[in-house]
Amino acid sequence: MPKFEATRQVAHSPDEMFALVADVERYPEFLPLCEALSVQSRRERDGKTLLVASMSVGYKAIRETFTTQVLLKPQERAIDVKYIDGPFKYLSNVWEFEAEGSGCLVRFFIDYEFKSRLLGAVMGTMFDRAFRMFAEAFEKRADAIYGRSAETA
């Protein structure tokens, strides 16, 4: 039942950070361990977007692909991710973006468990390290896309 939670202050607006995280197709360009990502479906309704996406992750000789349902809620500045299929017993992930000063607070939470104890043992510690790198990878990507603010430059 591994869980990881992080809150990070960034120099970009909540809308910018939401747009960056919502652009899942770009994850392989900058996200650690993400080798491929494809969106199988996209449906818009009531100002929200529901995606079904498959992500392939790799570490050394291990490769796994899992499918999730991603609910983009721009009005709430939140993204909810629910597990559909793959090597996990379950996976739940939430992103929240809250205005804070001239930037925002990015909240990231993930709760997951692998089906296989062996895979959990091998991938577990690597996933923990990867989640710690995710926040930094998203912030660096935001700096590259939106520019660094005068406060952080």
The CA-based angle 30-36-39, given to 5 degrees, is 110
- What's the pTM? 0.89
pLDDT digits (tens, 9 = 90+) for 69-120: 999 999 999 999 999 999 999 999 999 999 999 899 999 999 999 898 887 7
Q: How far is CA 93 from CA 71, 81, 104, 140, 145, in A?
A: 11, 5, 19, 21, 24
CA angle at residue 42 from 36 to 47, to 5 degrees?
125
What per-residue confidence (pLDDT) applies to 150? 42
Q: What is the pLDDT of residue 124?
A: 67
Partners of residue 6 on adjacent β-strands:
108
CA distance 73 to 94: 11
pLDDT of residue 149: 55
Question: Which domains, from first to last, does the chain contain?
Answer: 3-146 (3.30.530.20)
